[in-house]
Structure 1
Amino acid sequence: MQFHCNGTAIEIAVDQLIVAGWTGRNIEAVQHHIDELAAIGVAPPSTVPLYYRVSNALLTQDDAIQVVGEESSGEVEPLLLKVAGNLYLGLGSDHTDRGLEAHSVAASKQICAKPVASEVWAFDEVADHLDQIELKCSIKEDGAWVAYQDGTLASIRPLAELMAGADFADNMAMLCGTLGAIGGVRPASDYKMEMVDPVLGRSLAFGYQARNLPVIS
């Protein structure tokens, strides 16, 4: 897979893809996310954080993914990549099947593609102000874009801590957790996601569609 950083192309053959879950820094925020998922039937985690190993083939830069049924939704998340000893910060979505999540969180993570932005930042350039970096997600409802998630990386456990917990190494990628959903977790077909660096005055952005496939038996 190819990414771009400051105009330079970066090739990475991802050997391992990890989805870190329950990564809120504030225990009350973690409980809020647990509660909002419990409201749709998802069992609480055995421990926090958790590191779900999923297929590396799930990563995609396509502007549309296909999902089975109408119960999936996306989540804006920071993305970490390590290539030849160099660390990069990007932007992705942990798209998840909420219906399946009620039976198995691990399976729900595995069944959906994980869209990511093609642009990344060198981690060293943002390491001293990570908590100020903003994450935003909008979804389309009734033909209009509405705010779905909005917060900063200060709400997520320090990325260095998450990397240490995952034994993060070369040719690995990790989605690092998300923010609470404004109005509750719910399905949507269209997403716009953005990561804003207010210190260096720049942003990463991408969007995608989730196209539903029929459920047949």
Structure 2
Amino acid sequence: MTRPRPVRLTMPDGSRREVGVRYVLNAGFTGRDTAQVQHHVDELAALGVPAPARIPTLYPLPRHLVAQVDGIQVGHARTSGEAEWALVVGDGPDDVMITAACDHTDRDLEAHGIGWSKQTSPDILGDQAWYLADVADELDRFTLRAWVTHDSTETLIQDGRPAQLLAPSYWLEQLRTNALLRPGTVLLGGTVPMAPGVDQFADAWRVELTDTHGRSSRLAYRVEQLPAAWE
């Protein structure tokens, strides 16, 4: 088996952490407002996207899809990101960090299966992180925002808070119960709504997770479409 890809994170005190990614999980349908979640499921069903068997849900991904890069390549024009937070488990279950993340997704493939769509595109992680134990009580007051770029013009597409999503404590308990809380695990915690009328199929994405003191975990990447296949 290949060596785990390292994730490098800068902590609030300036120290650096490096974690080898071994397992990746993307949480879905994680809103605390269950009525809103069901509305979203119904919207997706109307678009032909099959509903999950259980809500909330988890989608496992190959670990090589986690990256800290400034550009990705995609097969067609209908892919987009989702602003999220991510948990990164370090040396053990009490060594958990939280950082910004963007779950890039193939929207055409999503109609055939959400899990498949997640497993074909990368999860981009931020540069800064916090120890979860240090910020758990204030995390709901963090902000989670995303911007998209079209023809060099940047537009805010997501503007929310972790308070809209199930808390990390919920997911840690679920991972612990299912023997998934292991060193090297990365879990993305779901996303906040997108602004209506903003085109998500963008040339670039940028995400910030910002704490109550103005410190931010950031990521930004360009989206390059591959040339057409010779078929």
Partner residue in 2 for 1:169: 182
Q: 1:186 Cα deviation (Å)? A: 3.1
Instruction: Report the 3-state secondary structure (helix = DSSP H, G, I; strand = E; otherwise coil) of the residue aligned with 1:111.
Output: coil
Q: Are residues 1:44 and 2:51 paired? A: yes
Structure-1 separation of matches of 2:56 and 2:131: 25
* Counterpart contact for 1:63–1:208, Cα < 8 Å: yes
Partner residue in 2 for 1:127: 136
- Counterparts in 2 of 1:16-165, with a 5 A limit? 16-38=23-45, 40-85=47-92, 86-165=95-174
Structure-2 separation of matches of 1:76 and 1:189: 16
Structure-2 separation of matches of 1:42 and 1:189: 24
Aligned length: 216
Q: What's the % identity of the aligned pairs?
A: 33
Instruction: Report the 3-state secondary structure (helix = DSSP H, G, I; strand = E; otherwise coil) of the residue aligned with 2:159.
Output: strand
Residues 37/181 of structure 1: CA separation in 2 closer, same or farther (3 Å cut): farther
Q: Are residues 1:201 and 2:214 paired? A: yes
Partner residue in 2 for 1:187: 201
- Amino acid in structure 1 at the alignment position of 2:189: C
Q: 1:117 Cα deviation (Å)? A: 1.0
- Amino acid in structure 2 at the alignment position of 1:190: A
Structure-2 separation of matches of 1:179 and 1:47: 19
* Counterpart contact for 1:17–1:53, Cα < 8 Å: yes
Structure-1 separation of matches of 2:202 and 2:42: 20
Instruction: Report the 3-state secondary structure (helix = DSSP H, G, I; strand = E; otherwise coil) of the residue aligned with 2:137.
Output: helix
Structure-1 separation of matches of 2:133 and 2:214: 16
* Counterpart contact for 1:32–1:180, Cα < 8 Å: no
- Amino acid in structure 1 at the alignment position of 2:49: V
Structure-2 separation of matches of 1:89 and 1:215: 38
Structure-1 separation of matches of 2:149 and 2:196: 13
Q: Residues 6-36 of structure 1: CA distance to partner in whole angstroms, max 9, x if unpaired? A: 3212121111000111111101221343244
Q: Which consecutive segments of 4 or more residues in structure 1 shift more than 6 A? A: none
CA RMSD of aligned residues (A): 1.7
Q: 1:142 Cα deviation (Å)? A: 4.6
Structure-1 separation of matches of 2:148 and 2:39: 21
Q: Residues 105-143 of structure 1: CA distance to partner in whole angstroms, max 9, x if unpaired? A: 111101011111121111122111111111000111353
Q: Are residues 1:3 and 2:9 paired? A: yes
- Amino acid in structure 2 at the alignment position of 1:113: P
Q: 1:187 Cα deviation (Å)? A: 1.4
Q: TM-score normalized by structure 1?
A: 0.93
Structure 2 runs not aligned, ≥5 long: 1-5
Q: 1:74 Cα deviation (Å)? A: 0.2
